[in-house]
């Protein structure tokens, strides 16, 4: 875990109180966002994959327990946090804001009170509120100059988003030109996909072997962020507008200038005359009671609406009041989001099945009597692992309460014990053999998961690994989706990764397959050829070694440089007493458990064969550090110890690596430099014994500034 870990982190999720959960979700959102930024923008991961995954999992678990606390900026809502290469950046000025939350009518009453107090309004003075559904999509900003649509951007982090103009142009509901608008205006709103369109899209994707989306929001985000606007055009995206950004002539606070609407509602009228869709539920509420009535009504209508909403947004109608109320941090004081509780329903567990993943994990899944929850038919629920089933005592034949929190795959909340058939069905037992290949299944000590020991002889693992191998962050072979892999594997056209690169010998066979032809076979082979050269880090990630995600793959690539070096080191590390093993666990971000998975991979002969065969087909490029190589510390091995006051350990590490240094977890004779903050203990002592240079945090800061006394130090 990171240094700035929160004390709450130690409390088991099922013991968390709601207000603590609220605080922790806020902390997790910030922490994960910082790691994402380090990873994606600075290309310098600040935590190990395992720690990163643990943070995300905890976030997920808390959200599953308190779905109404899910934040708008939750990591679970960010789809591919990367500002994808290929999209230009757009600065949002004024920034695109988020909203405060209300979870109860008391919270809403408090929202009204705050406004009254802030504006010193008399008790009888009416406060008009515009209320409208909170659309569960992704927000965009559309810029019009002299009535012409010139640029559209995603929200990104609120200050900087991606330029997706070409993609947004394909939305039929976004007009190319508007009449009678200010010379320059940015209108803002939410792009979404209807539930029906989402289900149909997933069906098409599944047929074609493409990506299947977890929920309409992800589908909308994935469809909008396409490099090829033609793909976006084929996806049924819609939009509701509800705010403005920059308007020509406005003052620093975003008011005045060409804004000629006195209130929010008149702005919506303008939007309609410009032909933008405004949500039909948007209403001016003249009192608290009217506001609550709309909330109740939307709560009822919600399930039958064709799009997901997760609350009702309230906005002070008068613009002069909005201006006076202003903002607290990044949310307006004049608006709030009144959240709906997650949608729940009860249904029957018909059966409990087992899914086998790429690394052999057996995941129990409840097969449910199909039921509509919030307008989406669900028939499966994840049961996570054996402990989860035990704890909730879920048995086939039980009636269960399920909850859908945005995703199509819901959670099982509890069993209705009073409805359990008699005699009661026996408790569920995890199978001790893999349902896919019959190999022994084991549950290792300290782990929640059962695992199939069949490795590549297990069809599920083989197919899942192949899917992983060609997936976006690995070999990224375009047009080669899961369905194709399954079919090719079934017919023994592909049995192991290297076979993919030998497909050119089977061109005619592919072209002759059902659903294929000359052109599509040609396209596939071209896409494969395109990927014959691959960076080492991607290659390592593509192997799908347990616990080795993208961040770890990069660490390994940067530390070992070439496939050959890496392989030799991993094989040598098989011996616990070897220097290679010591070196491996010394990499900051790689712990003993991950090291074991790496060594385990290289101890299996069939994995070595897989590697060899791939090597014969591929051009695996040595790691080239995208870092400054002529800094004072490039190529040096650094160790941080003690507390740093000016930056977190993660940041220090990321910045050191960006200057070409390597950061180790412990001091050895190979260490070049130790940065010791207050409280440094044994590592400092060891450095002194080994006569390794020890510097203070101040001196470290000077190195970062590119000046100071470091020349003499190193």
Q: How far apart are CA 531 and CA 503, in angstroms?
A: 13
Q: Which residues between 286 and 315 bind ligand IVH (CB under 6 A)?
A: 313
134 touches ligand IVH by CB under 6 A: yes
User: Following CA atoms 103, 107, 111, 113 in sequence, which dihedral angle do they give, to the nearest 10 degrees?
Assistant: 170
Q: Based on the shown chain and the rule CB under 6 A, indicate whether residue 695 belongs to the binding site for ligand IVH.
A: no
Binding segment for ligand IVH (CB under 6 A), chosen from 332-340, 512-520, 551-559, 706-714, is: 332-340
**Closest to ligand IVH by CB, 282 or 394:** 282
Between residue 336 and residue 365, which ones bind ligand IVH under the rule CB under 6 A?
337
Give one DSSP letter per residue of 120-184, joined into a string.
T--TTS---EEEEEEESSEEEEEEEETTEEEEEEE-TTSSEEEB-HHHHHT-TTS-SB-SS--SE
C-beta of 378: minimal distance to ligand IVH in Å?
Answer: 24
Q: Footprint of ligand IVH on residues 513-532 (CB under 6 A)? A: none
Whose structure tokens read 């300290």?
A: 446
d(CA 530, CA 540): 18
**Is residue 242 at the binding interface for ligand IVH, with CB under 6 A as the rule?**
yes
Residue 592 beta carbon to ligand IVH: minimum distance, rounded to whole angstroms: 42
**Residue 110 or 416 with smaller CB distance to ligand IVH:** 110
Q: Which of 313, 344, 308, 95 is nearest to 216 (CA)?
A: 308
Q: In the complex, what is the shortest distance from the CB of residue 243 to ligand IVH, in angstroms, rounded to a whole number?
A: 5
Within 8 A by CB and 6+ apart from 308, the residues are 135, 136, 137, 192, 195, 215, 216, 217, 374, 375, 406
CB of 72 to ligand IVH, least distance (A): 4
CB of 38 to ligand IVH, least distance (A): 24
Which residue, 236 or 254, has its beta carbon nearer to ligand IVH?
254
Q: Is 134 a catalytic residue?
A: yes
Q: Is residue 243 a contact residue for ligand IVH (CB under 6 A)?
A: yes
Which tokens is 166 given? Answer: 């070409």
Please pick, from the candidates 178, 201, 335, 352, the single residue that binds ligand IVH as defined by CB under 6 A.
335
Is the Cβ–Cβ distance between 135 and 220 less than 8 Å? no
Q: Is 366 among the residues that bind ligand IVH (CB under 6 A)?
A: no
Pick the closer one to ligand IVH by CB: 313 or 542.
313
One of 76, 139, 283, 552 touching ligand IVH (CB under 6 A): 139
| Euclidean distance between CA atoms 206 and 114, whole angstroms | 50
Which one of residues 46, 48, 74, 98 is an interface residue with ligand IVH (CB under 6 A)? 98
**Residue 168 interacting with ligand IVH (CB under 6 A):** no
- Which residue, 107 or 621, is less far from ligand IVH as judged by CB? 107
Buried b (16+ CB within 10 A) or exposed e, 480-509: bbbbbbbbbbeeebbebbbbbbebeebeee
Give the nearest distance from C-beta 161 to ligand IVH in angstroms. 11
Tokens of 106: 């008391």
SS3 16: coil
β-pairing, 619-621 vs 533-535, is parallel
Q: Does 555 bind ligand IVH (CB under 6 A)?
A: no
Residue 596's Cβ-side half-sphere holds a number of Cα atoms within 13 Å equal to: 3
Q: Binding of ligand IVH at residue 72 (CB under 6 A)?
A: yes
Q: Which lies closer to ligand IVH via its Cβ, residue 218 or residue 385?
A: 218
User: Taking a C-beta distance cutoff of 8 angstroms, is the pair 569, 601 a contact?
Assistant: no
Residue 129 Cβ, how far from ligand IVH at the closest point, in Å?
A: 12
The answer to whether residue 615 forms part of the interface with ligand IVH (CB under 6 A) is no
Q: Quick one: 577 exposed, middle or buried, by C-beta within 10 A (0-12, 13-18, 19+)?
A: exposed
Binding part of the chain for ligand IVH, among 95-103, 416-424, 505-513, 520-528 by CB under 6 A, reads: 95-103
Question: Which is nearer to ligand IVH, 101 or 632 (by Cβ)?
Answer: 101
Token look-up 């199939």 returns: 452
* Contacts within 8 Å (CB) and 24+ apart, 499-505: 500/466, 500/469, 500/470, 500/475, 500/528, 501/528, 501/532, 501/614, 501/617, 501/618, 502/617, 503/528, 504/528, 504/529
Judged by CB under 6 A, which of 50, 90, 135, 405 binds ligand IVH? 135
What is the 8-class DSSP label of residue 40? I
Which one of the listed residues 77, 134, 195, 315 is annotated catalytic? 134
Q: Are 638 and 656 in contact (CB under 8 A)?
A: yes
Of 24, 31, 63, 190, the residue at the interface with ligand IVH (CB under 6 A) is 190
Nearest Cα neighbor of 249 from 260, 263, 237, 259 is: 259
Between residues 99 and 553, which has the closer beta carbon with respect to ligand IVH?
99
97 binds ligand IVH (CB under 6 A): yes
Q: Please tell me whether residue 285 binds ligand IVH under the rule CB under 6 A.
A: no
Structure tokens, 434: 């893999």
132: contact with ligand IVH by CB under 6 A: yes
Q: At closest approach, how far in Å is the CB of 384 from ligand IVH?
A: 29
With CB under 6 A as the rule, give the number of residues binding ligand IVH: 16
186 versus 190: smaller Cβ distance to ligand IVH: 190
Nearer to ligand IVH, 292 or 701 (CB): 292
CB of 292 to ligand IVH, least distance (A): 18
The catalytic residues are 134
The residues that touch ligand IVH, with contacts defined as CB under 6 A, are 72, 97-99, 132, 134-135, 139, 155, 190, 242-243, 313, 332, 335, 337
């Amino acid at each position: 875990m990171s240094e700035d870990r929160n004390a709450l982190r130690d409390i088991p999720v099922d013991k968390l109180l709601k207000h603590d959960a609220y605080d922790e979700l806020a902390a997790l959102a910030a922490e994960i966002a910082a790691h994402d930024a380090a990873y994606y923008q600075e290309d310098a991961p600040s935590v190990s994959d395992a720690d990163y995954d643990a943070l995300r999992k905890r976030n997920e678990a808390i959200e599953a327990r308190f779905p109404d606390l899910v934040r708008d900026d939750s990591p679970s809502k960010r789809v591919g946090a990367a500002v994808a290469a290929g999209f230009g950046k757009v600065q949002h000025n004024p920034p695109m804001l988020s909203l405060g939350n209300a979870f109860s009518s008391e919270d809403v009453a408090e929202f009204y009170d705050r406004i009254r107090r802030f504006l010193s309004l008399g008790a009888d003075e009416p406060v008009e509120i515009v209320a409208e559904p909170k659309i569960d999509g992704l927000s965009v900003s559309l810029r019009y100059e002299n009535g012409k649509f010139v640029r559209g951007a995603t929200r990104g982090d609120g200050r900087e988003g991606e330029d997706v103009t070409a993609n947004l142009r394909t939305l039929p509901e976004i007009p190319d030109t508007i009449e009678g608008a200010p010379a320059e205006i940015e209108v803002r709103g939410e792009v979404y996909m209807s539930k029906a369109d989402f289900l149909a899209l997933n069906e098409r994707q599944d047929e074609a072997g493409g990506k299947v989306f977890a929920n309409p929001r992800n589908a909308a985000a994935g469809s909008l962020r396409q490099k090829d606007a033609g793909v976006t055009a084929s996806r049924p995206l819609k939009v509701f507008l509800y705010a403005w950004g920059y308007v020509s002539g406005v003052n620093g606070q975003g008011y005045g200038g060409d804004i000629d609407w006195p209130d929010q509602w008149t702005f919506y009228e303008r939007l309609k005359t410009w032909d933008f869709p405004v949500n039909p539920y948007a209403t001016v509420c003249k009192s608290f009671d009217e506001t609550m009535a709309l909330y109740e009504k939307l709560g009822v209508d919600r399930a039958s609406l064709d799009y997901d909403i997760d609350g009702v947004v309230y906005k002070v109608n008068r613009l002069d009041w909005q201006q006076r109320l202003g903002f607290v941090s990044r949310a307006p004081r004049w608006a709030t989001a009144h959240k709906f509780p997650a949608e729940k329903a009860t249904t029957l567990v018909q059966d409990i099945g087992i899914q086998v993943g790429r690394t052999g994990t057996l995941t129990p899944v409840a097969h449910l009597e199909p039921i509509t929850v919030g307008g989406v038919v669900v028939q499966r629920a994840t049961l996570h692992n054996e402990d989860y089933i035990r704890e909730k005592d879920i048995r086939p034949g039980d009636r269960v309460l399920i909850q859908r929190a945005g995703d199509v795959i819901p959670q099982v909340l509890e069993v209705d014990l009073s409805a359990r058939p008699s005699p009661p069905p026996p408790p569920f037992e995890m199978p001790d053999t893999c349902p896919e290949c019959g190999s022994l299944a084991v549950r290792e000590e300290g782990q929640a998961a059962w695992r199939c020991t069949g490795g590549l002889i297990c069809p599920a693992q083989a197919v899942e690994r192949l899917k992983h191998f060609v997936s976006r962050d690995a070999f990224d072979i375009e047009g080669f989706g899961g369905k194709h892999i399954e079919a090719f594997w079934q017919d023994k056209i592909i049995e192991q990764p290297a076979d993919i690169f030998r497909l050119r010998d089977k061109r005619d066979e592919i072209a002759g397959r059902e659903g294929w032809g000359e052109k599509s076979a040609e396209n596939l082979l071209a896409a494969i050829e395109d990927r014959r050269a691959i960076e080492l880090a991607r290659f390592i990630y593509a192997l799908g070694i347990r616990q080795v995600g993208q961040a770890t793959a990069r660490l390994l690539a940067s530390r070992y440089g070439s496939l050959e070096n890496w392989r030799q080191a991993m094989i040598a590390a098989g011996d616990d007493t070897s220097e290679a093993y010591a070196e491996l666990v010394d990499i900051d971000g790689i712990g003993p458990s991950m090291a074991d998975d790496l060594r385990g991979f290289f101890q299996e002969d069939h994995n070595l064969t897989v590697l060899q065969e791939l090597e014969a087909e591929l051009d695996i490029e040595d790691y080239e550090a995208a870092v400054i190589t002529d800094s004072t510390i490039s190529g040096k091995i650094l160790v941080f110890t003690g507390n740093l006051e000016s930056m977190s350990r993660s940041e220090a590490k990321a910045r050191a690596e960006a200057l070409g240094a390597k950061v180790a977890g412990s001091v050895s004779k190979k260490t070049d430099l130790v940065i010791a903050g207050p409280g440094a203990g044994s590592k400092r002592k060891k450095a002194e014994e080994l006569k390794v240079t020890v510097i203070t945090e101040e001196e470290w800061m000077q190195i970062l500034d590119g000046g100071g006394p470091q020349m003499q130090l190193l």
